[in-house]
Chains A and B, each alone.
Chain A
Amino acid sequence: MEKILEADNLKKEFGGILALRGVSFSMKPNTIKAIIGPNGAGKTTIFNIISGIYSPSGGKIWFKKERIDRLNSHLIATRGISRTFQNVQIFGNMTALENVMVGCHPWTGSEFLACIFKTRRARLEEKKIHLRARELLEFVGLAGKENVLASQLTFHQQRLVEIARALATQPELLLLDEPAAGLNLKETQEMANLISKIRQKGISVLLVEHDMDLVMGISEEIVVLNSGEVIAEGTPREIQSNEKVIAAYLGEELNVENKKS
């Protein structure tokens, strides 16, 4: 089957510290895949490389058979990869609706002068953007919050605005960086439903998450990362019984007896 995303031997170095030591994995279209691993394993670094915020020190990434590892961030967004951020990065001085409208940037094309002189095309586009943004706010469950300043929304709502904004770019691949962090049980459940709903629209989802119930519940495949290396890849069931994974999360079983003596 065709791969939507393929990472080959990704390396990233920060001033002598190897955050990624040759990570390879791939993703099938229209799936939900999770990257898990202890803190500092390099999960967010992978996201930052895929979305073009960092360029890798080595290795390649293909998105639908196109090399994207040397592309600028905004070009990657235009290619069809969108993301959310671990520490929510909404535009606080704009309303919820305006935030989502910014997301419509990649598929609209009225340039500077067209906008200044408000040409016919710019006006038509503006209407489309408005409509689409409203739809998406409703889709994530924020109907009625359109005109609230984003900075005045609750943390959970800000997360949802961020997802709606990312969806507005019309991505084929959505990267969610810890979508459930800081959410309560009910909100986490809603988030899981939302992610499944996004996938039903034909969008592939790659997520980094610590909440294992969420990860095991919705993802079809999981990559496990530990200190910058892939230690396991497979279905949730395979991962749960993988010895290396258990060791990475809980420590080695063998050492127990040594300690006693």
Chain B
Amino acid sequence: MGKKNFFSLIGLTSIVLILPPLIGNPYYIGILVFVGIYSLITIGLSLLMGYTGQISLGHAAFFGVGAYTSGILSTRFGLDPWLALLASLLLAAGIAFIIGAPALRLKGHYLAMATLAFGEIIYIVFNQWIEYTGGPSGFGEIPRFCIGGFSLESDFNYYYFVWVIVILILVMALNLIHSRIGRALRSIHGSEIAARAMGVNVSRYKLQVFILSAVFASLAGSLYAHFVTFISPTSFSVMFSVALVTMVAVGGMTNVWGAMVGAALLTVLPEYLRVFEDYDILIYGATLLLIMIFLPEGVVGGIFQLFKERMTRRSVKFTLNVKSLWRRY
């Protein structure tokens, strides 16, 4: 996986360990749990979109499938949360297979449209299948996980639980990226014809990475349901799919680290913007706009680029670029 990623992982692990005692406030710990949960989705989404070049506007639905399956099985059928989680992963993989096999034959906007429609269908199911989902008002009393009789009731414990999973998933994603399959995925993004001519089974790998990202999203959904203990359809609407894609784009499409930074930024930023009261959405939008104008490669890629430019003493050229950008916009 390379030295750079290894040290980044160590850095991330230490931040994860240090942060809770530094913050202390349980509300903020809760937000960091959400950052972890969303990171799980954006890591998968970055493999699908950034590396393989396949857009999905339906990942909120897989997130929802995970949450609802886990929630319904553990409340209405009294299943152990762990078994419920496992079942939801399998279901998400199955759905991703059925949806992905035809949809991934589509390209660009058409694929985006198809996944968007899928997301909408699932959203309608959550709203209408009242007997199990509770309809628009949702349902609650979802139990939390237990590890060997040790309940993850406190937010602190849940924080560590979620972030251990995030780091594990991150390691898996990095392993994949730096393997023959990872390179095959990136080659599909580069040129499908050439990828095929190199013996890469394009449709198969597209489907596999789609399923993988769906399973990651479903895992996040289960962790979400057993954390908030109450779920309703609004958390899984198409708007959330768009928010997920935005997280990946803002953080940096072609970088799993970027996907995490994007998730963190877009989850934490609104909290800081609360002081602006009614204007928070305006400032939120403006921030995203500025990031995309000045760091089109995303925050991580952009900052890395900046750093590199400094190192090679081409900072002059960069400031010129910024000036010309100003003129253009």
Contacts and interface: CB of A to CB of B under 8 A. Distances in A.
Interface of A: 51-53, 72-74, 77-78, 82-83, 85, 89-94, 98, 101-106, 108, 110-112, 115-118, 122, 125-126, 129, 165-166, 168-169
Contacts of A72: 196, 201
A94 B179 contact: no
B83 to A, nearest CB: 22
Nearest to B188: A91
B194 A91 contact: yes
Contact of B190 (A51, A83, A94): A94
A104 B181 CA distance: 11
A91 B201 contact: no
Given A77-B199, A82-B197, A126 B179 contact: yes
A74 B201 contact: yes
A98 B182 CA distance: 10
Chain B: interface residue count, which band?
A: 20 to 34
A126 B179 CA distance: 7
A110 B178 CA distance: 12
A102 B175 contact: no
B180 interface: yes
B183 A89 contact: no
A101 B194 CA distance: 13
Contacts of A94: 183, 186-187, 190
B183 A112 contact: no
B252 to A, nearest CB: 13
Interface string B194-232: 111111111001001000100000000000000000000
A117 B175 contact: yes
Residue with the highest number of chain B CB atoms closer than 10 Å, among A83, A91, A94, A103: A91
A74 B196 contact: yes
A66 to B, nearest CB: 16
A110 B205 CA distance: 13
A93 B175 contact: no
27 contacts: A73-B193, A78-B199, A83-B197, A89-B194, A90-B190, A92-B190, A93-B186, A93-B189, A93-B254, A94-B183, A94-B186, A98-B183, A98-B186, A102-B183, A102-B184, A102-B186, A102-B198, A102-B200, A105-B199, A105-B200, A111-B181, A115-B176, A117-B172, A122-B180, A126-B178, A166-B198, A168-B198
B179 A85 contact: no
B219 to A, nearest CB: 14
A82 B197 CA distance: 6
B157 interface: no
B191 interface: yes
> Which of B180, B190, B193 is most buried by chain A, counting CB atoms within 10 A of its CB?
B180
Contact of B187 (A85, A102, A111): A102
Given A94-B186, A115-B176, A116-B176, A74 B193 contact: no
A98 B194 CA distance: 14
B197 A115 contact: no
Most chain A CB within a 10 A radius of its CB, from B172, B178, B189, B198? B198
Contacts of A169: 198-199
Contacts of A103: 198
A254 B168 CA distance: 78
B179 A115 contact: yes
Contacts of B205: 112
Contacts of A115: 175-176, 179-182
A74, A82, A90 pick with most chain B CB within 10 angstroms = A74
A165 B196 CA distance: 12
Contacts of A77: 196-199
Contact of B197 (A51, A108, A110, A118): A51
B198 A106 contact: yes
A116 B180 CA distance: 11
A209 B164 CA distance: 57
A93 B178 CA distance: 14
Given A53-B193, A91-B190, A93-B186, A101 B180 contact: yes
A98 B51 CA distance: 14
A150 B187 CA distance: 12
Most B C-beta atoms less than 10 A away, residue of A98, A108, A116: A116
Interface string B29-41: 0000000000000
Contacts of B182: 115
A89 B191 contact: yes
A104 B199 CA distance: 9
A168 B200 CA distance: 13
A105 to B, nearest CB: 5
Contacts of B180: 101, 104-105, 108, 110, 115, 122, 125-126, 129
Given A108-B180, A165-B198, A118 B190 contact: no
Contacts of A129: 180
Pick from B184, B197, B212 the residue with the most CB of A within 10 Å.
Answer: B197
